Amino acid sequence: MMREESINGRQLITLTVMAQLGTEVLSLPHVGAENARQDTWLAVLISGVAAQIGILLIWWLGSRYPNRNFYAYTREVVGRPIGFVLNLLYGCYYSFSGLLITALYTDILKRWMFLLTPRWLIFLMLMIICGYAATSSLKRMAFISQSFIIFPVICFLLIAFSGIYGLDARNLLPVLSHGWAPVIKGVYVAYSAYIGYDLLLYAYPYVQAGSKKKLLIAMSVANALTIVFYVTVCLVCTTMFGQKQLIIVPEPIVFILKNYRIQVLQSLDILFLVFYVFVVSATIYVYFFLASKAFVHLRTSGLGNSYHWVWAIVTICFAASFFLTKRNDILRIAAFQDQLSILAVVAFPLLLLLISGIRSAGRHRV
């Protein structure tokens, strides 16, 4: 039942980049400015390096169990009952993350493009499409992400070229005006933007990259690409807007793009938001996929199939979306989700690594 076709390094890179890039591209400069002010780019960069350490952690954990995915070996590391609870928690965490990202993006769409369209309709459409994608196997999902990869590239080019005019590099100065404290806070906030590399928890045994080291390199390349994307976004926004403006404007990138027009297209922001749906949904379906796999692995021999789990999750998320309509609520929950994701992506794997290390050390002594 847990048959999964293997993917290659390139596919892993694509999947990871697409999973990492999410709605944060739009909101990161704004959120970063609230915390790290003009040093947002620095905070985002450091945060990316921190994510690299997180990748190393998961890679290390995965290389201890190279033949099984995360959900299959939790039980072995911490025992049956705790492993069950852990898988359940991960399932809920990923469903919740998927729901939240959908809600965030729906909110953005609603405000920028669909003032009159009912929110639930956009939400439902996104949910159905992402659920549909999440029912595929890991390899087919990698295919889907590969087909969509052109869109983050276009989005990146749009952002990078939108910075041609009106840049004021002085906006970046002074560096570290308030010391390191705000930057560290910014690092924490920006870290959630890099979440998505935790896909490796599940994907590790299915990657055929040649060697352990090449797998790590693939993950690092993916992370580096994400860092470049985010840092560029932050640099463009920080240099285009002053600090006071950035704190007021929730999605500065859209504002910047709205300002530009080329001969054949008048408003690039619409194009950007439409193209961005490919990027966001790539994150959402990866989360739904991971959630469904977590639920399937609740029992060693498999509990139901992931197809049914995905649609169950989608249904529940859609029902839950009716309670997530106010922007403030969504943002508050998003802040809570940031803490949760640190727990799920950093703390738990670290704990598992320690436990498995201690246990194997104990076994060696005996």
Partner 1 sequence: MNPSVAASEQFFYEQFSGQSDFQSKKLLIGGIEYRLFYLNTLIDSSHVQEFILKPLLSKPLNDVREVISILDYEETDHVEEAVQAVVCGKTVLHRDGESKLYLLGADLKKERTINIPSNERILRGANEAFIENLDTNLNLMRKLIPSTELVVKTYTIGRLSKTKVAVMYIKSVADPSLFEELDRRLLSIDSDYTESPGFIDELIRDKKFSLFPQLLITERPDRARAYLMEGKMVIATSGSPDAIILPVTFWSFFQSPDDYHISWLLGTFFRLLRLACFLLTIGLPAFYVSVSSFNPQLLPINFVNTLQSSLKYVTFPPLIETIAMMLLLEILREATIRLASPAGQTIGVVGGIVIGTVIVQSNLASNTMVIVAALTGLASFIIPSYEMSSAVRLLGYPAILLSSVFGLLGLAFFFMIIFIYLCQMSTMGQPYFSPPFSLSGIRDTLIRSPIWNLKKRPAGTSPYNQTRLRHPRSWKR
Q: Which of 265, 316, 335, 347 binds partner 1 (CB under 8 A)?
A: 265
At 219, list the tokens.
């993950």
Q: How far is the CB of 103 from partner 1 (least distance, A)?
A: 16
Answer for the pair 76, 86: CB distance below 8 angstroms, yes or no: no
78 lies in the binding site for partner 1 (CB under 8 A): no
Picking from 280, 359, 344, 346, the residue whose alpha carbon sits closest to that of residue 99 is 280
Q: Kindly report the number of other CB atoms within 10 A of residue 336's CB atom.
A: 12
Q: How far is the CB of 140 from partner 1 (least distance, A)?
A: 5
Picking from 168, 109, 97, the residue whose alpha carbon sits closest to that of residue 336 is 97
Q: How far is the CB of 237 from partner 1 (least distance, A)?
A: 23
Q: Which is nearer to partner 1, 228 or 271 (CB)?
A: 271
Non-local CB neighbours of 47 within 8 Å, separated by 6+ positions: 186, 187, 188, 190, 191, 193, 194
Contact window for partner 1 (CB under 8 A) among 220-228, 234-242, 263-271, 287-295: 263-271
Q: Which of 120, 143, 180, 188 binds partner 1 (CB under 8 A)?
A: 143
Q: Which is nearer to partner 1, 149 or 286 (CB)?
A: 149
148 lies in the binding site for partner 1 (CB under 8 A): yes
CB-based burial, 277-314: b 16+ in 10 Å, e otherwise: bbbbbbbbbbbbbbbbbbbbbbeeeeeeebeebbbbbb
Q: How far is the CB of 144 from partner 1 (least distance, A)?
A: 5
129 lies in the binding site for partner 1 (CB under 8 A): yes
Q: How far is the CB of 14 from partner 1 (least distance, A)?
A: 7
Contact window for partner 1 (CB under 8 A) among 33-41, 53-61, 87-95, 257-265: 257-265
Quick one: the chain helix, strand, coil %, rounded to 5?
80, 0, 20
Q: How far is the CB of 267 from partner 1 (least distance, A)?
A: 5
15 lies in the binding site for partner 1 (CB under 8 A): no
Q: Which of 19, 109, 235, 253 binds partner 1 (CB under 8 A)?
A: 109
Q: Which of 6, 243, 266, 315 binds partner 1 (CB under 8 A)?
A: 266
Cα(298)–Cα(306) distance, integer angstroms: 11
Angle between helices 70-78 and 348-365 (to 10 degrees): 50
By CB under 8 A, how many residues form the interface with partner 1?
38
Number of H helices, E strands in the chain: 17, 2
- Positive or negative, the CA dihedral 289, 290, 291, 297 is positive
Q: Which of 111, 140, 178, 213 binds partner 1 (CB under 8 A)?
A: 140
Q: Which is nearer to partner 1, 267 or 325 (CB)?
A: 267
114 lies in the binding site for partner 1 (CB under 8 A): yes
CB-neighbour burial class of residue 3 (10 A; exposed 0-12, middle 13-18, buried 19+):
exposed
Q: Which of 49, 56, 85, 121 binds partner 1 (CB under 8 A)?
A: 121
Q: How far is the CB of 291 from partner 1 (least distance, A)?
A: 18
277 lies in the binding site for partner 1 (CB under 8 A): yes
Q: How far is the CB of 146 from partner 1 (least distance, A)?
A: 4
Question: Given the structure tokens 């709205």, which residue do they identify?
Answer: 258
